[in-house]
Amino acid sequence: MAETETETEGTPVKGNGNGRAARLLPPPLRRPGKPGSNGSGGSARVVEGAKDAPADLLAWLDERTSATAFLTGSLYRKVPKGTNWLYTLGSATLFAFVVQAVTGVFLAMYYTPSTIEAYDSITNLTNNVFMGEFVRGMHKWGASVMVILVFVHMARTFFVGAYKYPRELNWIIGVVLLILTMVMGFTGYLLPFDQRSYWATIVGVNINGTGPIVGPFLSDFLRAGPEFSQTTLSRFYSIHMMMVPGAIIALIGAHLYLVVKQGTTAPPWVRADTKPKSSRAEKV
Ligand code: HEM
């Protein structure tokens, strides 16, 4: 049916000719009326309009983005029977990642990725910047929390058999996310550039070098030359704050898309319960 314009309180809205669409749509932004035009005071009308403004703004956005349809589709999903707190670990990991991203942005405002200045910039951040020690502590402890959560989340998905058909691809994406989470921890450890982080990273890079076939290439790439140098620190910083977070964000997007599309896996004991107790054939 051809679309026509329907008039609602002076503002034209798209409709299908019978005015139904106009009634279904939230009230569009209204122009304040002239004082006394409808018997009530103009200021009362302005106050009413102001109260509706947030809802009107959301309706305006929703009409143009279909955000409600998207959010309803992704958030209002059926969850299987037997779902418990262990099923929240993926979301907890996501939250830990967001905390790392936000605190990391603030740390980057004060950090200098130079072999000479890195340590001093971090000392300054810890001792002199308002809430610096707190934000640094959140980032440092948050890193361990994220690593623990990602492992426990993986264990949950493994023990309910969520790696099986049709979720193999999501499991593989998860494995890459696990590796990238570890890379975040490894590359972040060098950044303070104190004695401990320097020597621990040398040990880590050497361990990488012992890997079969790709090991030596990997350690050369990480060291960015025959010795640890300014280029090594710059490379670690770039991997830590740009390359890996970008990849993690993209992969989390794909991971969640598949979770929404495929739903979550019921615990095996619940699935066993839902099998029919006896079939007609068995009775005969
Ligand atoms: C940055 C790391 C990760 C984030 C943010 C993340 C996030 C999530 C979220 C929010 C869910 C849905 C809720 C839930 O089941 O807990 C989920 C499900 C899933 N995740 Fe992850 N995940 C991560 C890493 C991993 C890893 C390391 C694996 C395994 C190697 C994995 C495998 C899966 C699988 C198979 C599902 C589907 C679960 C099911 O069908 O019951 N994820 N993930």
| pLDDT tens for each residue of 6-43 | 444 444 444 444 444 444 555 555 555 555 555 556 78
Atom 31, ligand 1: residue with shortest CA distance: 174
Let me know if residue 154 belongs to a domain: yes
More confident residue, 16 or 74: 74
Let me know if residue 168 belongs to a domain: yes
Beta-carbon contacts of residue 222 (< 8 Å; ≥ 6 apart): 205, 208, 232, 235, 236
Let me know if residue 75 belongs to a domain: no
More confident residue, 164 or 281: 164
Would the pLDDT of 203 be above 60? yes
Distance of CA 137 to the CA centre of its chain: 21
How many domains in the chain?
2
Identify whether residues 156 and 30 lie together within a single domain.
Answer: no
Identify whether residues 59 and 141 lie together within a single domain.
Answer: no
Let me know if residue 2 belongs to a domain: no
Atom 28, ligand 1: residue with shortest CA distance: 174
Let me know if residue 163 belongs to a domain: yes
Q: How, if at all, do strands 11-15 and 4-8 pair?
A: antiparallel
Identify whether residues 92 and 185 lie together within a single domain.
Answer: yes
User: Rounded CA gap, 144 and 150, in Å?
Assistant: 10
Distance between Cα 145 and ligand 1 center (Å)? 16
Identify whether residues 133 and 253 lie together within a single domain.
Answer: yes
Identify whether residues 60 and 156 lie together within a single domain.
Answer: no
Beta-carbon contacts of residue 136 (< 8 Å; ≥ 6 apart): 103, 107, 122, 125, 126
Q: What is the rounded end-to-end Cα distance, in angstroms, of the chain?
A: 56
Let me know if residue 73 belongs to a domain: no
Identify whether residues 51 and 134 lie together within a single domain.
Answer: no
Under 8 Å between Cβ of 14 and 5: yes
Q: How far is CA 233 from CA 65, 161, 223, in A?
A: 43, 41, 9
Ligand 1 pocket (Cβ < 6 Å) reads: 87, 89-91, 93-94, 97, 150, 153-154, 157, 160, 162-163, 167, 170-171, 174-175, 177-178, 181, 248, 252, 255-256, 259, 264-265
User: Rounded CA gap, 168 and 218, in Å?
Assistant: 27
Identify whether residues 56 and 108 lie together within a single domain.
Answer: no
Would the pLDDT of 269 be above 80? yes
Identify whether residues 38 and 89 lie together within a single domain.
Answer: no
More confident residue, 76 or 19: 76
**What pLDDT, on the 0 to 100 scale, is given for residue 35?**
58
Atom 5, ligand 1: residue with shortest CA distance: 94
Under 8 Å between Cβ of 259 and 152: no
The residue range of the domain holding 196 is: 85-262
Residue 247: give its domain's CATH number.
1.20.810.10
Under 8 Å between Cβ of 181 and 90: no
Identify whether residues 141 and 102 lie together within a single domain.
Answer: yes
Identify whether residues 45 and 111 lie together within a single domain.
Answer: no
Let me know if residue 237 belongs to a domain: yes
Identify whether residues 147 and 26 lie together within a single domain.
Answer: no
**What pLDDT, on the 0 to 100 scale, is given for residue 239?**
98
Percent of the chain scoring above 70 in pLDDT = 81
Let me know if residue 69 belongs to a domain: no
Identify whether residues 46 and 176 lie together within a single domain.
Answer: no
User: Rounded CA gap, 282 and 284, in Å?
Assistant: 5
Q: Is the pTM of this model over 0.85?
A: no
